[in-house]
Amino acid sequence: MANGGLKDDFSLSITVGGDAGQGVESSGALFTQALARGGWHVFGVPDYRSRIRGGHNFFQIRAARRPSLSHSDPVHLLLAYTRETIDVHKPNLAQGAAIIYDDGFRVDAAALEAEGFVPIPAPLTKIAEEHGSKLMINTGAVAAACGVLGFPLEPLVRLLHDTYGHKGKKIVEGNASVARAAYAWAVERYPGRLAYRLAEPGEVGEKTQPSQPGRELMVLTGNEAFCLGAVVGGCTFVSAYPMTPATPILEWFAARERELSVVAKHAEDEIAAVCMAIGAGFVGARAMVPTSGGGFSLMAEALGMAGMCEVPVVIVNVQRGGPSTGLPTRTEQGDLLFVLHASQGEFPRIVLAPGTHEQYFEAGWRAFNLAEKYQCPVIVLSDQFLAAARKSLPLDALTLDGVSIDRGALLSATELDRLDGPYRRYAMTETGVSPRALPGHPKAVFTVTTDEHGEDGHITEEIDLRVAMMDKRMRKLEAALADMRGPDLYGPEDADVTLICWGSTVGPAREALPLLAGQGVTANVLHFTDIWPFPVHKAEMALQGVRRAIAVEQNHTAQFARLLRMMTGFQVNGSVRKYDGRPFSPQQIAARALVEVGARV
Amino acid sequence: MFDGANGQASGGTRRVDGQAHGPSSRAPNGVLDLKTYSSPYKPTWCPGCGDFGILSAIKAALVELEIWPHEVLIVSGIGCGSKLPQYLYANGFMTIHGRPLAVATGAKLANPQLHVMVVNGDGDSYGIGGNHFLHTCRRNPDITHIVENNQIYALTKGQYSPTSDVGFRTTTSPEGVFEMPVNPVAVALAAGAGFVARSFAGEPKHLKQMIMAAMQHPGYALVDVLQPCVAFNKVNTYNWYAERIYDVANDDSYDPTSLRDAWERGTEWGERIPIGILYRREGVPPYENYVPALKDGPPVERDLSARLDPELLERLKRAYV
Ligand SMILES: Cc1ncc(C[n+]2csc(CCOP(=O)(O)OP(=O)(O)O)c2C)c(N)n1
Ligand code: SF4
Ligand SMILES: [Mg+2]
């Protein structure tokens, strides 16, 4: 075994904390990536406030022998960029946890020791100033943490070269020197005598887990995985108005607009953004609009336009804490019932709620296929937790397997050439899907309107036609049901308790299963990703063996449990809900599920 | 001057020389005349409505510019005037109230080969759609914007609009309007529009010329059309406009390329109302020319199967190792 005696389920949590503006997230990202390069599976969660400077931010990293599905509590190593960080995070630290901080802070080390922690005042400012510049203090801090953990320095130094290479030799060398000095300092002072290490006591860092060629791990956020999925899904048009936590999607495409030939338009507001995408979708682009709840609210009327005019468009709602401006940088699953019902009247829409990075990637291309196949808006419902979490994945976790570009009933120019008789955009069909022409062909000149219309797209108020058109549009939902997946079951098939979740809660919920097992409760997880049209039959089949159902959701009212009841009549026995803006940890789910099932702890 | 990051007018399909060209390889045989544009549906406008004149002028302008119905996309909003795409034979998209400029911008960026025109009312354009108006002016996509400005909300049966004059009595201003009206010309100039014209629904020849000039202008072009609403606006009637309008083209000293001249005349309203091309900026290419993704041609013509090239995904993933 490469890593001495560390068990397969070994996992260690690290928190980097400090003030906004101190580079907490970039330190966290650097650390996460370095760990992955050293062969560790990582899961990093940023926690930051909606301000540019000041206020406490932190980044929690989990390093594990096997792939992680979420972060994990408690924390074994705290990297404190401010004195306040120590007080904030003490309650979440494991006994024996190490606390690294600048030796210039006025910290009562003896008191920390008395509380069972290992204070590590490090000369971080001094080392940065001596070996590089004061700005490189975070590099030194991460390197010192590596030294304390018994993690090799080499992956970090290599990463510094790759990260700062474009900034010139001086910056790269400076950072590398600071890292080496801080690492040496830590290894010398704390030679493997800490309780929590990424190596067995006595092992030298270099002997731990080298990253094996061909087994490299990539580290990317959920939003980044989604962007890759949208690229392979043929996305050619992105329009958006910046709104946390969806902004990185527009920025990702804007940075690659030239390379990928995808229009990336920063619009004047969300109404413009979605309308631009609808205009682009109408003429044949694969168009999408990333936003968060506030932006989605503004898009409600246009959503109905896409439904009524049968224009394919993909809207990504990366949920954050609501209501209103709410908790701008934090997570929630509060928009479920809203996105299902937003906009006046009834029209077909498809809603996907990916729960993992892999599923978010998949949603990237599936959404475009579904939008064109059923000629309707498709909403991808994610959240800040999934969007911003940095997860390590082997390269073959995101592949082209199963990826196709299905443009549905789109008529080619040659097919249109052969058309005799006038083109009818909304021709009545059995599935409700009408053969679709794009404007620009002489044989298919047509108008569409948000008013009720006939087959040729002209306004009508005629009763029979109205009813027929409503039926035609709604039939598409029945057809789309065939493409909706039922819930996935994780854990033992036969279990006393079933945790029912949707979207991103699947990660921590699955991680809670062994914790529950440890308490004598056999549990499994039933996870829904395809929300609308609701896969009623598949859900009913999956629910048949459920003995006690606990809904696990990041909202106040257990919205999915309500949907489930509405669609299937199934009633959960209890719910674990969270709406403080912070993602569930597996430990929180396990503890609260135990209370719900009334088990003795 | 300068022609944008993409070199020549790859995004703009309209040339300043008036030669319109769309997807000509698919151009139908036969003659292009006014009948080509006639729709089987008859307008539901009130007899005498100014929108009839606007519809005729648009058709005439398209025919004269030799643009075929399949090469044009007319985007409208909601209102009496916004029903216009229903009454001619051309591609049309009647959207939601206030949003046609945004829809049109998306369509134009996705397929710059289409001649994209927006036709909407004063409420749609300057009221609920005011933000899009402002930003489309400064963005400068190659879109021709024709506003049916009747100084009233007609379809909703007679409430005051953003262009209603002070003192105008309507159901929502029973004691008369006491907000300053929007002057579309001034707003467009201030927002950076490159072509600003005004015309009158009662002057079909002039109107046709303005529409043609707007279509030939590469970039956003506004034609604010004074449009009598015979049903709900009993103040701003055909006569009211006819008595006041004068064409700046008849004034030799007027220089439409001068922003100073344009501002002076553009802000004139009341006793005398200038019509004609009030401002025309030359040598500035349309927005599409700067859009990096359009350097490879219209997004709607991309070969999407290229996205399934494993090397592309591998390259993108490698950045995260
Ligand atoms: C979001 C929304 N609000 C209100 C309306 C109702 N409405 C329809 S047309 C219109 C005003 C139309 O005025 P204008 O754009 O000047 O067009 P006109 O009828 O005068 O040609 C309004 C308020 C609507 N359709 N949508
Ligand atoms: S109400 Fe006014 S604008 Fe509408 S059709 Fe009648 S005259 Fe024209
Ligand atoms: Mg009006």
> Which residue reads 């400012």 in tokens?
A125
pLDDT at A190: 84
CB pair distance less than 8 Å for A279 and B93: yes
Domain CATH code at residue A323:
3.40.50.970
User: How close does chain B come to A434, measured CA to CA in Å?
Assistant: 17
The structure's pTM equals: 0.95
| Ranges of chain A whose pLDDT falls below 70 | 1-6, 52, 192-193, 200-214, 599-601
- Same structural domain for residues A348 and A440? no
Continuous H helices in A381-458: 384-388, 413-417
- Same structural domain for residues A464 and A578? no
The length of chain B in residues reads: 321
State the Cα–Cα distance between residues A76 and A83, nearest whole angstrom: 18
pLDDT at A4: 41
Question: What's the one-letter identity of residue A66?
Answer: R
- Same structural domain for residues A382 and A242? yes
H/E element holding A469? helix A463-480
- Same structural domain for residues A504 and A385? no
Establish whether residue B152 lines the binding site of ligand 1, counting it when its CB lies within 6 angstroms of any ligand atom. yes
Classify residue A459 by its DSSP letter: B
Last residue of some domain: A215, A247, A272?
A: A215
B91, A439 contact by CB (below 8 A): yes
B290, B5 contact by CB (below 8 A): yes
Q: Sorting pLDDT into bands at 50, 70 and 90, what band is B2?
A: very low
A474, two tokens: 């709604």
Of B103, B291, B316, the CB nearest to A278: B103
B42 to chain A: which residues are within 8 Å by CB? none
Q: What is the CA radius of gyration of chain A?
A: 26
Task: Say if A292 falls within a structural domain.
Answer: yes
CB pair distance less than 8 Å for B299 and A441: no
Which of A59, A9, A13 is CA-nearest to residue A390? A59
* Ligand 2 atom closest to B45 (CA): 5
A10, A64 contact by CB (below 8 A): yes
Question: What's the one-letter identity of residue B201?
Answer: A
Continuous H helices in A299-395: 300-309, 336-341, 357-374, 384-388
- Same structural domain for residues A545 and A502? yes
Q: How many CB atoms lie within 10 A of CB B292?
A: 18
Question: What does the longest C-alpha to C-alpha distance in chain A come to?
Answer: 89
State the Cα–Cα distance between residues A358 and A395, nearest whole angstrom: 11
H/E element holding A238? strand A237-240
The whole domain housing A48 covers 11-215
> Which residue reads 């910056």 in tokens?
A171
Task: Say if A571 falls within a structural domain.
Answer: yes
Q: Which residues line the pocket of ligand 2, CB cutoff 6 A?
A: B 45-46, 49, 51, 80, 150, 154, 229-232
B312 to chain A: which residues are within 8 Å by CB? 231-232
Last residue of some domain: A439, A459, A482?
A: A482
Mutate to test the interface with A, among B313, B315, B318 (most CBs of A within 10 A): B313
Strands (E), A10-132: 11-19, 41-47, 56-64, 75-80, 93-102, 118-122
Domain CATH code at residue A32:
3.40.920.10
- Same structural domain for residues A211 and A351? no
Ligand 2 center to B77 CA (angstroms): 15
- Same structural domain for residues A499 and A583? yes
Of B107, B292, B295, the CB nearest to A283: B107
- Same structural domain for residues A197 and A235? no
User: How close does chain B come to A125, measured CA to CA in Å?
Assistant: 30
CB pair distance less than 8 Å for A400 and B308: yes
- Burial status of residue A108 (CB atoms within 10 A of its CB: 0-12, 13-18, 19 or more): exposed
pLDDT at A169: 93
Mean pLDDT of chain B: 92
Question: Beta A41-47 vs A56-64: how paired, if at all?
Answer: antiparallel
User: How close does chain B come to A29, measured CA to CA in Å?
Assistant: 11
pLDDT at B4: 52
Task: Say if A1 falls within a structural domain.
Answer: no
Closest-CA residue of A relative to B73 is A439
Q: What is the pLDDT of residues B162-178, one digit of tens each?
A: 999 999 999 999 999 99
Mutate to test the interface with B, among A282, A361, A405, A425 (most CBs of B within 10 A): A282
Closest-CA residue of B relative to A368 is B304
State the Cα–Cα distance between residues A275 and A202, nearest whole angstrom: 62
- Same structural domain for residues A134 and A226? no
Last residue of some domain: A482, A505, A538?
A: A482
> Measured at the alpha carbon of residue B254, what is the angle toward residues B251 and B260, in degrees to the nearest 5?
150
Which of A292, A273, A98 is CA-nearest to residue A193? A98
Continuous H helices in A218-289: 222-232, 247-255, 257-260, 270-283
Q: What is the pLDDT of residues B283-318, one digit of tens each?
A: 999 999 999 999 999 999 999 999 999 999 999 999
Give me the number of domains chain A comprises: 4
pLDDT at B21 over 50: no
pLDDT at B47: 98
From residue A440, alpha-carbon distances to A446, B301, B315 in Å are: 10, 12, 35
State the Cα–Cα distance between residues B148 and B210, nearest whole angstrom: 14
pLDDT at B185 over 80: yes
ipTM of predicted assembly, 2 dp: 0.94
Question: What are the backbone dihedrals phi and psi of residue A510, each rounded to the nearest 5 degrees, phi first?
Answer: -65, -35
Task: Say if A180 falls within a structural domain.
Answer: yes
pLDDT at A47: 87
B318 to chain A: which residues are within 8 Å by CB? 218
Q: What is the pLDDT of residues A499-539, one digit of tens each?
A: 999 999 999 999 999 999 999 999 999 999 999 999 999 99
State the Cα–Cα distance between residues B91 and B41, nearest whole angstrom: 14
Ligand index nearest the alpha carbon of residue B125: 1
Mutate to test the interface with A, among B136, B138, B307, B311 (most CBs of A within 10 A): B307
Task: Say if A407 falls within a structural domain.
Answer: no
pLDDT at B25: 42
What's the per-residue H, E or C state across chain B? CCCCCCCCCCCCCECCCCCECCCHHHCCCCCCCHHHHECCCCCCCCCCCHHHHHHHHHHHHHHHCCCCHHHEEEEECCCCHHHHHHHECCEEEECCCCCHHHHHHHHHHHCCCCEEEEEEEHHHHHHHCHHHHHHHHHHCCCEEEEEEECCEECCCCCEECCCCCCCCCECCECCCCCCCCCCHHHHHHHCCCCEEEEEECCCHHHHHHHHHHHHHCCCCEEEEEECCCCCCCCCCCHHHHHHHEEEHHHCCCCCCCCHHHHHHHHCCCCCCEEEEEEEECCCCCCHHHHCHHHHHCCHHHCCHHHHHCHHHHHHHHHCCC
- Same structural domain for residues A52 and A172? yes
Question: Is residue B42 within 8 angstroms of chain A, CB to CB?
Answer: no
Q: What is the CA radius of gyration of chain B?
A: 21
pLDDT at A6: 67
Q: Name the CATH superfamily, with its identifier, for domain B29-295.
A: Thiamin diphosphate (ThDP)-binding fold, Pyr/PP domains (3.40.50.970)
What's the per-residue H, E or C state across A211-232? CCCCCCEEEEEHHHHHHHHHHH
State the Cα–Cα distance between residues A142 and A158, nearest whole angstrom: 14
Ligand 3 center to B157 CA (angstroms): 10
Query: Partners of B143 in the beta sheet?
Result: B116
State the Cα–Cα distance between residues A297 and B150, nearest whole angstrom: 32
Closest-CA residue of A relative to B87 is A458
Closest-CA residue of B relative to A397 is B317
- Same structural domain for residues A224 and A294? yes
Q: What is the pLDDT of residues A82-124, one digit of tens each?
A: 999 999 999 999 999 999 999 999 999 999 999 999 999 999 9
Question: What are the backbone dihedrals phi and psi of residue A220, each rounded to the nearest 5 degrees, phi first?
Answer: -145, 160
A299, A291 contact by CB (below 8 A): yes
Classify residue A261 by its DSSP letter: T
Domain ranges of chain B: 29-295
